[in-house]
């Protein structure tokens, strides 16, 4: 615990010096006890607020987000999903412009991020634009806290990016949770320059995302360079990938209700209770912070007798 406290303080100092935190953690032998999830969560949580600040302080970023939001909203209009999950939403600075430009107000949105601090900023950011979505929750791209086939379309924007080596695992989770489509805007190994590829390897970014999607069972409908004018970093050029789930496995019989919370990477459904969300099979309670469900495995509280105590307390 003391080591973690010292590390958090150190990371805050490094962040103030513009040091890449994930790179720092990956290069430190004394941080090997941290999992991939721990490193990403730590670095993103300490950076929380930076995207909101960047959006508010930069007309350039606001314009990029606005144009990107219009383009993504138009794509959603063509696909016509009834439900959309924004995976790795960060502070919702990109999602907000999608919501503002989506003409079909019947589309239901949900969003998750690995960092609770980022989601708290996201909630404030959306409220500042008179926007809201029914479900904000913490989750991990490799272990999504939704039941299978519980959303029509999953979209990401530079969220899969830092998960080099986990491409197949993430695509398998996307395949499990979506009913129909994924719409991914992620750094492109295929369209990137040699310099960009070198940078992607250095930072541990993803490679061969189209291959991972196809190996999982997706059919790629569109794979093209994302408008370079909508990407502020010329060494992080992205691609847009629209892929569809195989119709042979996406059966209606297997569909769960929209955005149905479940124990991470399972179909153990969570029950909405007074203190949060409870998984009876695992005997754990996931807390809620300011209406944000905390659904990472390491955020669960072991309370095997929760329902017995709370539902039958008159007999105690």
User: What integer pLDDT is reported at residue 34 of this predicted model?
Assistant: 81
Q: Could you tell me the CATH number of the domain that includes residue 195?
A: 3.40.50.150
Residue 44 lies in a domain: yes
Please indicate, yes or no, whether residues 22 and 106 belong to a single structural domain of this protein.
no
Residue 194 lies in a domain: yes
User: What integer pLDDT is reported at residue 250 of this predicted model?
Assistant: 46
Q: Of the candidates 233, 254, 275, which is a domain's last residue?
A: 254
3-state secondary structure the chain: CHHHHHHHHHHHHHHHCCCCHHHHHHHCHHHCCCCHHHHHHHHHHHHCCHHHHHHHHCHHHHHHHHHHHHHHHHHHHHHCCCEEEEECCCCCHHHHHHHHHCCCCCCEEEEEECCHHHHHHHHHHHHHCCCCCCEEEECECCECCECCCCEEEEEEECCCCCCCCCHHHHHHHHHHHEEEEEEEEEECCCCCCHHHHHHHHHHCCCCCHHHHHHHHCCEEEEEEECCHHHCCCCCCCEEEEEEECCCCCCCHHHCCCCCCEECCCCCCECEEECCEEEECCCCEEECEECCEEECCHHHCEECCCHHHHHHCHHHC
Please indicate, yes or no, whether residues 34 and 77 belong to a single structural domain of this protein.
no
Please indicate, yes or no, whether residues 86 and 220 belong to a single structural domain of this protein.
yes
Residue 202 lies in a domain: yes
**How many folded domains does the chain comprise?**
2
User: What integer pLDDT is reported at residue 163 of this predicted model?
Assistant: 92
Please indicate, yes or no, whether residues 7 and 137 belong to a single structural domain of this protein.
no
Please indicate, yes or no, whether residues 33 and 81 belong to a single structural domain of this protein.
no
165: left (phi over 0), alpha (psi -120 to 50) or beta: left
What residue ranges of the chain have pLDDT lower than 70?
A: 1-2, 247-254, 313-316
Residue 165 and residue 209 in contact, taking contact as beta carbons nearer than 8 Å: no
Residue 187 lies in a domain: yes
Please indicate, yes or no, whether residues 34 and 82 belong to a single structural domain of this protein.
no
Residue 295 lies in a domain: no
Q: Of the candidates 202, 229, 254, which is a domain's last residue?
A: 254
User: What integer pLDDT is reported at residue 154 of this predicted model?
Assistant: 98
Query: Domain limits at 10?
Result: 2-52
User: What integer pLDDT is reported at residue 36 of this predicted model?
Assistant: 77
Q: Of the candidates 11, 29, 52, which is a domain's last residue?
A: 52
User: What integer pLDDT is reported at residue 1 of this predicted model?
Assistant: 46
Query: Which tokens belong to 9?
Result: 């303080």
Backbone angles phi, psi at 91, to 5 degrees: -100, 15
Residue 127 lies in a domain: yes
Residue 294 lies in a domain: no
Please indicate, yes or no, whether residues 44 and 144 belong to a single structural domain of this protein.
no
Please indicate, yes or no, whether residues 113 and 78 belong to a single structural domain of this protein.
yes
Please indicate, yes or no, whether residues 109 and 149 belong to a single structural domain of this protein.
yes
Please indicate, yes or no, whether residues 33 and 64 belong to a single structural domain of this protein.
no
Residue 160 lies in a domain: yes
Please indicate, yes or no, whether residues 39 and 81 belong to a single structural domain of this protein.
no
Please indicate, yes or no, whether residues 166 and 204 belong to a single structural domain of this protein.
yes
């Amino acid at each position: 615990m003391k080591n973690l406290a010292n590390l958090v303080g150190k990371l805050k100092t490094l962040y103030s010096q513009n040091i890449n935190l994930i790179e720092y953690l990956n290069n430190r032998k004394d941080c090997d006890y941290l999992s991939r999830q721990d490193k990403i969560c730590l670095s993103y949580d300490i950076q929380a607020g930076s995207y909101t600040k960047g959006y508010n302080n930069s007309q350039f970023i606001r314009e990029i987000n606005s144009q990107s939001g219009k383009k993504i909203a138009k794509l959603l209009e063509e696909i016509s999903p009834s439900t959309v999950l924004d995976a790795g939403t960060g502070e919702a600075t990109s999602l907000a412009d999608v919501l503002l430009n989506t003409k079909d107000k019947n589309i239901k949105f949900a969003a998750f991020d690995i960092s609770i601090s980022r989601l708290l900023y996201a909630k404030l950011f959306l409220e500042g634009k008179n926007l809201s979505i029914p479900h904000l929750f913490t989750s991990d791209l490799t272990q999504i806290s939704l039941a299978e086939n519980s959303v029509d379309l999953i979209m990401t924007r530079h969220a899969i990016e830092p998960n080099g080596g986990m491409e197949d695992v993430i695509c398998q989770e996307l395949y499990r949770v979506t009913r129909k489509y994924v719409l991914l805007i992620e750094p492109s190994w295929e369209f990137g320059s040699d310099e960009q590829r070198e940078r992607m390897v250095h930072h541990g970014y993803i490679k061969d995302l189209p291959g991972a999607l196809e190996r999982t069972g997706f059919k790629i409908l569109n794979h093209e360079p994302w408008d370079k004018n909508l990407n502020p970093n010329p060494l992080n050029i992205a691609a847009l990938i629209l892929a569809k789930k195989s119709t042979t496995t996406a059966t209606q019989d297997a569909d769960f209700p929209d955005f149905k919370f479940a124990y991470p990477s399972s179909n153990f459904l969570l029950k909405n209770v007074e203190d949060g969300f409870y998984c009876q099979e695992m005997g754990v309670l996931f807390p809620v912070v300011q209406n944000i469900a905390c659904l990472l495995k390491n955020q669960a509280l072991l309370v095997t007798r929760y329902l017995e105590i709370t539902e039958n307390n008159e007999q105690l």
